[in-house]
Amino acid sequence: MNPETRWLAGEIDAAAETPALRRLAAYERLHRDVLGELEEAEARLSALRKEGREKSATFRQTLGQKLLLAQFAQRLSQCLKDGHGK
């Protein structure tokens, strides 16, 4: 169970909460949000493909967003897994 979940479940009391735990929880929330946005972008791309709009500006913009979100999610996953950025 991650620190954010443990804190929300009351397993970590507010007095024991440290700045490091708050930062970690913030990164985990950011990672979860980025993954959610990535799923939304993939769904929009799928809908645009079904409409035959692969050449539209909307499709290309959404594809760019998806690629950026995928890269960002990958880097966040690596940071959270390794505990550092490099």
Q: How far apart are CA 53 and CA 20, in angstroms?
A: 46
- What is the three-class DSSP state of 68? helix
- The rounded mean pLDDT for the chain is 86
Task: Give the Cβ contact number of residue 16 at 10 Å.
Answer: 9
pLDDT value for 58: 98
pLDDT mean over 1-17: 58
Q: How far is CA 82 from the centre of its chain?
A: 16
Q: How far apart are CA 59 and CA 85, in angstroms?
A: 32
pLDDT digits (tens, 9 = 90+) for 38-72: 999 999 999 999 999 999 999 999 999 999 999 99
pLDDT range class, residue 80, cuts 50, 70, 90: confident
Q: Are 13 and 3 in contact (CB under 8 A)?
A: no
pLDDT value for 65: 98
pLDDT: is 30 or 84 the higher one? 30
